[in-house]
Amino acid sequence: MSHEITIKMSETAPVRIDTRDWPLVAQVDAHDGALKCQAATEWTMCVREHADGRRLVYGWQEAGNGGQYAGFEPTLAGFLVDALGAHCAERETVRAIRRVAGILKRDSLARDCIIALPATVLR
């Protein structure tokens, strides 16, 4: 079983990663409507982190089981956050999350993804 996935990026060519090297640190899903099985639209946002501190923030909007209009096209977004030191990387991760949510036109996704990030330890 392959652990490789391809992620569509917003301002660069797609990237291929091994998910064992880039584990999820946050993932949120949303849908319109009361029940996911009847949703017309579904959204997902993910944050993955490499051991060297880089992070991938990406997401997509796609048609749900409730159906979409003819000609609907999914929206994809993704950004790579360089390893810049803990405090700076956190700020850039949040910025990338907000950018992805903006492209997907789903601000609540940003809020939920930021909340899902691992807590920062203050000393």
CB 102 within 8 A of CB 113: no
For residue 2 the two structure tokens come to 């392959």
pTM to 2 decimals?
0.90
| Cβ(108)–Cβ(29) below 8 Å | no
**Residue 24 to residue 8: CA distance in whole angstroms:** 16
Q: In angstroms, what CA-CA distances link 115 with 6, 32, 35, 47?
A: 25, 20, 23, 12
Q: Say how far apart CA 88 and CA 65 lie, in whole Å.
A: 40
pLDDT at residue 87 tops 70 = no
**Cβ–Cβ contacts within 10 Å for residue 5, how many?**
14
Over residues 71-86, the pLDDT tens digits come to 889 899 999 999 876 6
